[in-house]
A and B are shown apart, each in its own frame.
Chain A
């Protein structure tokens, strides 16, 4: 399937779309689709979302496979907003336009960036795994095996999970993988599989935010350069950045939140979005488009958002800034093939999760956890 056809297919995936016509073989990572189907059953069975968006409440999720670590989710109402920045905005780049009005359904989003206390339960899974993250049953971790549930195993075990990192991936910031510090340096693939792992054990459907959802959440009803206005001199109150961070990330949730109560949308660590990066993404969207996203057909580039602690001036932390991911982010992985799980040369990428109020079709769910051509880079 070429890029264009996949893209146009994706644009049809608005929530109104009831039926997904794609045959299973057109899905990315078809070998793991049976796992998605089982997780989908878990989500359907749980079905504890309110009947209407008015009933959505903030909640705290507990993660059993992470020693019952928790994270907080905040509901955002359905709404319209204008994505991108006006040509007049200081520091603006061409890829932030043209501005277009988009519409989003209601969803919950992480109040903070995901932290090591949760993520390490996924990363330090303690199992012998093949390089693609499936359980290694044939004593050869270079060969993939079908993700079947065998004796003594759970659905959570058979979700693809990382192989061990050869050095701790916190790059000696914070307190090791200490509680409250943002998880970093995972690939887009790893972040997506984390969402799948989270879903399998909670029954709540989690995924990465689309680029539109991310900017909607970041702006929180504002249209200024930052969610607190246009005055970059106030950045220090809201964001860990090169000026105040001392070249290290910081515990999440320490700065002021944005108007919708979300922390660290500007600064601390940059955040993965679900979408493939297209420099002219907005030009392809019709005004009023619902829940737009650009599914990836390749591992690179994906969109990252929000700026970070490590380097870059105030303009890099604006609500509209879009940064494409790059293979150089894992440059010093000493192995060939390089790990599909770790960004060994990037110390400032993390993510937060979203949970859409409406659970999508199982194939859409699968596509949103499986981007790119398959488990290789």
Chain B
């Protein structure tokens, strides 16, 4: 339990959010509770990004949506349409609507105080770095990166954010769901005794399927086509384990008290899909943790098969089950010992709770910085993915020593960009 990586993670033990206030002056620091107008910039104006903007606008009285940026202009139009009901809280004239791959920089430079990062995850490290360097508070959607170099960049940005006294709030939404929080508190507090093992699943359907036989239109660049279908390409989405099942990965980290794992052994492949993309469609991962605990994750995106998204945390005194109906089953695996029931009429939306807490902290001058924890949870996903892609037992330390870098930092929309080959286990190497 003395590895450097473990102690690095212990800084974040229990997923605690508030970090020490750092030395640089900041708009909101040193003023106590304040009501200064906060200008928000949204980077990535798809459905989820617009949802995040809606939550930010609902979280605080005195905020205004000030700038929008997306690779594609029509996404901006759609986003503004979806936010009409906020009236004067949306103040984004044409000169603060930015499209193209450099739109993020323009949003950051437009005079905003807070940026919401909701572009596809391949861009996240770059966007985060730019925002932190410019001294902006950040809400960042999950995951934080799609490769090791990206995760390291996020780790550096998180440290820089501490020095600058700017906040990073995360989008691992289940950590804000009241019932799931109560359940996981029973695990992490030791109330249920030692954790014996975890089996988490994310078995659903492909979220934005490319059809078999679908090809890039002749008049469209490689980059544009892959961005429009981003969940189907690893360099931009990280694949389904990073893009979607990362929620389950994160909850494994949570159940294990956010300590570092030792290694992972995994299988995965592309048994179902026949489209032009290059992401696997299933993974089965065994994470090896200190103390002989194995955390198993099953992921797939198939139609016509058994589907479930369940975390099962097998503990000495019962099994914790989440997230749909958080409950504790007895050691017999059947009898329910505890179940979360939202107080009637006061059900809370986890996406909203996330932003409520973020803005409330900003108002109090507290600086949330979850960047390192987010980087670690993302790396845990990469550990499982790379164990499957390489077919090797991959250690946590090997991951941190890797120089894997899949997402180019200087892409142009009209660039040629060949689809990377599918990793073959036994052949594919971790860079």
Interface size class of B (residues with CB under 8 A): 35 or more
Once the chains bind, are A337 and B47 in contact (CB under 8 Å)? Answer: yes
Once the chains bind, are A336 and B306 in contact (CB under 8 Å)? Answer: no
8 Å CB contacts to B: which residues of A25-80? 67
Residues in A neighbouring B206, C-beta threshold 8 A: 164
8 Å CB contacts to A: which residues of B181-211? 203-211
| Residue of B173, B304, B309, B344 touching A334 (CB-CB under 8 A) | B173
Residues in A neighbouring B54, C-beta threshold 8 A: 336
**B133 interface residue (CB < 8 Å to A):** no
Once the chains bind, are A168 and B48 in contact (CB under 8 Å)? Answer: no
* Binary contact readout A315-339 vs B (1 if CB under 8 angstroms, 0 otherwise): 0000000000000000111111100
**B270 interface residue (CB < 8 Å to A):** no
Once the chains bind, are A331 and B324 in contact (CB under 8 Å)? Answer: no
**B82 interface residue (CB < 8 Å to A):** yes
Residues in A neighbouring B82, C-beta threshold 8 A: 336-337
Residues in A neighbouring B203, C-beta threshold 8 A: 168
Residues in B neighbouring A335, C-beta threshold 8 A: 46-48, 50-51
- A126, B48: Cα distance in complex, Å: 22
8 Å CB contacts to A: which residues of B1-58? 46-48, 50-51, 53-54
Interface size class of A (residues with CB under 8 A): 35 or more
- A176, B201: Cα distance in complex, Å: 12
- A333, B54: Cα distance in complex, Å: 12
Once the chains bind, are B47 and A139 in contact (CB under 8 Å)? Answer: no
Residues in B neighbouring A331, C-beta threshold 8 A: 347, 349
Residues in B neighbouring A168, C-beta threshold 8 A: 203-204, 307-309
The residue in chain B whose Cβ has the minimal distance to the Cβ of A125 is B303
Once the chains bind, are B83 and A170 in contact (CB under 8 Å)? Answer: no
8 Å CB contacts to B: which residues of A162-218? 164-168, 170-173, 175-177
For the complex formed, measure the closest distance between the CB of A242 and the CB atoms of chain B, giving whole angstroms. Answer: 11
For the complex formed, measure the closest distance between the CB of B47 and the CB atoms of chain A, giving whole angstroms. Answer: 3
**A99 interface residue (CB < 8 Å to B):** no
- A164, B211: Cα distance in complex, Å: 14
- A336, B324: Cα distance in complex, Å: 22
- A173, B204: Cα distance in complex, Å: 15
* Interface Cβ pair total, 8 Å cutoff: 94
Contacts A124-B304, A311-B344, A331-B349; A171 near B209 (Cβ below 8 A): no
Q: Interface majority SS on B: helix, strand, loop or mixed?
A: loop
Once the chains bind, are B78 and A140 in contact (CB under 8 Å)? Answer: no
**B350 interface residue (CB < 8 Å to A):** yes
Residues in B neighbouring A141, C-beta threshold 8 A: 208
Once the chains bind, are B229 and A139 in contact (CB under 8 Å)? Answer: yes
Contacts A139-B217, A168-B309, A171-B325; A336 near B350 (Cβ below 8 A): no
Once the chains bind, are B225 and A139 in contact (CB under 8 Å)? Answer: yes
| Residue of A165, A167, A332, A336 touching B83 (CB-CB under 8 A) | A336
**A224 interface residue (CB < 8 Å to B):** no
| Residue of B48, B173, B205 touching A124 (CB-CB under 8 A) | B205
- A320, B263: Cα distance in complex, Å: 60
Once the chains bind, are A172 and B309 in contact (CB under 8 Å)? Answer: yes
For the complex formed, measure the closest distance between the CB of A331 and the CB atoms of chain B, giving whole angstroms. Answer: 5
**A127 interface residue (CB < 8 Å to B):** yes
Once the chains bind, are B307 and A176 in contact (CB under 8 Å)? Answer: yes
8 Å CB contacts to B: which residues of A254-313? 311
- A336, B82: Cα distance in complex, Å: 6
Once the chains bind, are B210 and A128 in contact (CB under 8 Å)? Answer: yes
| Residue of A127, A247, A332 touching B351 (CB-CB under 8 A) | A332
| Residue of B47, B79, B207 touching A164 (CB-CB under 8 A) | B207
Once the chains bind, are A176 and B347 in contact (CB under 8 Å)? Answer: no
Once the chains bind, are B217 and A166 in contact (CB under 8 Å)? Answer: no
Once the chains bind, are A127 and B211 in contact (CB under 8 Å)? Answer: yes
The residue in chain B whose Cβ has the minimal distance to the Cβ of A164 is B205
Residues in A neighbouring B138, C-beta threshold 8 A: none
Residues in A neighbouring B229, C-beta threshold 8 A: 139
**B339 interface residue (CB < 8 Å to A):** yes
| Residue of A140, A167, A247, A334 touching B204 (CB-CB under 8 A) | A167
The residue in chain A whose Cβ has the minimal distance to the Cβ of B350 is A332
Once the chains bind, are A334 and B307 in contact (CB under 8 Å)? Answer: no
The residue in chain A whose Cβ has the minimal distance to the Cβ of B141 is A334
**B310 interface residue (CB < 8 Å to A):** yes
The residue in chain A whose Cβ has the minimal distance to the Cβ of B247 is A167
Kindly list 19 other residue pairs between chains A and B, CB separation below 8 angstroms, not including A164-B206, A172-B324, A333-B51. Answer: A124-B304, A127-B209, A128-B209, A139-B220, A141-B208, A142-B78, A168-B204, A168-B308, A170-B307, A175-B306, A177-B306, A177-B307, A246-B336, A311-B344, A335-B46, A336-B50, A337-B50, A337-B82, A345-B347
Q: Which residues of A contact B (CB under 8 A)?
A: 67, 120, 124, 126-128, 139-143, 164-168, 170-173, 175-177, 246-247, 311, 331-337, 345, 347
Interface pairs (27), CB distance under 8 Å: A120-B304, A124-B205, A127-B209, A139-B217, A139-B225, A139-B229, A140-B74, A143-B74, A165-B204, A165-B205, A166-B207, A167-B204, A168-B308, A171-B324, A172-B310, A172-B325, A175-B306, A176-B307, A247-B325, A247-B339, A311-B344, A332-B349, A332-B350, A335-B46, A337-B47, A337-B50, A345-B347
Which 4 pairs, one residue from A and one from B, show the smallest C-beta to C-beta distance?
A335-B47, A336-B50, A168-B307, A171-B324
